[in-house]
Amino acid sequence: MNRGILIVIFLAIIVAGSPYAARMVNGQGFDLKALFSSIAGSRAPQPVHVLRVTHGSLEEHLSANGRVVANKKVVIRPVISGRLQSVHVEVGDNVSVGQILAQLDRRESESRVRNSEIEIKNAQREIRRLKARLEELRTLFELGGESRRALEDIEIEIQDAKTRLHKSTEALFQERLRLESTVITTPIKGIVTTSTMNLGQWVSQGDSLMEIADFDSLEIEAQVDASDIDLLQPSQAATIRGQFEDARRWRGKVDRISPAIDPANQANTVSVFITPLDAENIGLRIGEEVTVKITTSVKQNVTKVPYAALYSRDGKEWVDTVTDGRIQHIQVTTGGEDNQYIEIVKGLPDSVATLVVDARRLADGTPVVVVDQPQ
């Protein structure tokens, strides 16, 4: 049979079985729009799923990417110059307070210490000898066998020896300090982030040898767009999360906000201070990339709906509900939002308890049947 004839027969059957057929019988004429409206009205109800409208609090968040940094860092510099005899740590190593990082060649300092000790002993021995000679001369002087000038000369020699002893004692103190300074230690616990030390290398006093980041000062440096900076303030709660899907999460808070705009990317630097119970076991690592979600506000007693119930059309926002078994489009005005819900501030009647999921495909008035009920 010809395809065109089949189509005509099909339309005739539809028309005959629809309210439109009665209109034609009554001589109201042919209206194509009325025809298809009548056909649509005779369709079986479309199955739809609904979600519940809820009321309660809504947290608004600002998300940003960040990096784990240390607020407190120590640069290790040698107190004296010398050649590196040993290096005990490298980048990435954890260190504790007082731990030996490296050691300079000690031989010259050890030799100077020994020489100073010898000079002290010699000065002490000379002082004892001169004092004994002074006593002999005093006895002779009292007997008339020695002059006063001889006594005065011995006293001068004793004073010179004491001066040498004092200088040698001071020199020994300084040389022992130098000897102690050949051992390079860390004043803080943390992690070695940079190092320029190599075995046998000559280093000068004050050179930057190593940088150690303090475990107790870990924080997140996040980049936030300048247009969002007014939403932030110190002490706001934050959640820090690693880059992987199953990454661990940490609690934190906004500690401070940079007053300057980064000229490179037009973003302010927001530092979020991490407050773990045990900084050593927190699991964060210096330089690790993380995401930060900052709670910028908490609204109470709001009407909120799941994202799946909202859609946009013609520049406006809509939700759909079921009224008397048919789709009803409702234009709404939205407000704040979080990861699951969006606030409805205007347009949604209080009587509406459920909304249709993804109903934009259905025309207003389409017959529907709800196939499930929300929890």
Q: Which two tokens stand for residue 135?
A: 């006593």
Q: State the Cα–Cα distance between residues 127 and 124, nearest whole angstrom.
A: 5
CB-CB neighbours of 9 under 10 Å: 11
User: Which of 17-26, 305-314, 342-351 has the least mean pLDDT?
Assistant: 17-26
**Domain end call among 266, 296, 326:** 296
Let me know whether 244 and 314 are in one domain. Answer: no
Last residue of a domain, one of 296, 326, 360: 296
Residue 276 confidence (pLDDT) above 70:
no
From the list 222, 211, 279, 225, the residue with the least C-alpha distance to 256 is 222
User: Do the domain assignments include residue 290?
Assistant: yes
Identify which has the larger pLDDT, 68 or 201.
201
- Residue at 115 is within a domain: yes
pLDDT of the residue at 240: 84
Note whether 267 and 310 are same-domain residues: no
When pLDDT is averaged across residues 346-371 and rounded to a whole number, the result is 87
- The pLDDT, as a whole number, for residue 267 is 54
CA trace torsion 10, 13, 18, 21 (10° rounding)? 110
Q: Report how far residue 169's alpha carbon sits from residue 177's, in angstroms, rounded to the nearest whole number.
A: 13
334 and 309 within one domain: yes
Within a domain: 310: yes
Look up the CATH number of the domain holding residue 110.
1.10.287
Give the model's pLDDT for residue 262.
62
pLDDT of 204: 95
Between residues 360 and 329, the one the model is more confident about: 329
Average pLDDT, integer, range 76-89: 95
Percent of the chain with pLDDT over 90: 41
CATH of the domain at 322: 2.40.420.20
283 and 221: one domain? yes
What is the average pLDDT score of the chain? Answer: 82
User: What is the C-alpha to C-alpha distance for residues 132 and 154, in angstroms, rounded to an integer?
Assistant: 10
Q: Which of 134-138, 179-183, 338-342 has the highest mean pLDDT?
A: 179-183
* CATH assignment at residue 221: 2.40.30.170
Same-domain check for residues 220 and 289: yes
Q: Do 84 and 191 belong together in one domain?
A: yes
Is 375 part of a structural domain of the chain?
A: no
Kindly state whether residue 338 falls inside one of the protein's structural domains.
yes
Query: Is-contact 294 62, C-beta < 8 A?
Result: yes
| Residues 85 and 137 both lie in one domain | no
Statement to judge: residues 226 and 117 lie in one domain: no
pLDDT (mean) for 274-294: 71
* Enclosing domain of residue 228: 62-72+214-296
Q: 190 and 168: one domain?
A: no
pLDDT per residue as tens digits for the range 307-330: 888 888 888 999 999 999 999 999
Mean pLDDT on 200-216 = 92
Same domain? For 218 and 260 the reply is yes
The mean pLDDT value for 175-200 works out to 93
**The pLDDT of residue 367 is above 90:** yes
In a domain, 167, yes or no: yes
Q: Are residues 340 and 328 in the same domain?
A: yes
pLDDT score recorded for residue 67? 87
| CATH assignment of the domain containing 85 | 2.40.50.100
Cβ-based burial of 305 (10 A; exposed 0-12, middle 13-18, buried ≥19): buried
How confident is the model at residue 268, as a pLDDT?
52
The structure tokens listed for 375 are 């929890």
pLDDT (tens digit per residue) in 1-19? 444 444 433 444 444 444 4
- Whether the predicted pLDDT of 28 surpasses 80: no
In one letter, which amino acid is 192?
V
pLDDT at 119: 94
> Which of 272, 296, 320 is the last residue before a domain boundary?
296
Same domain, 229 and 252: yes
Q: Structurally, how many domains does the chain consist of? A: 5
257 located within any domain: yes
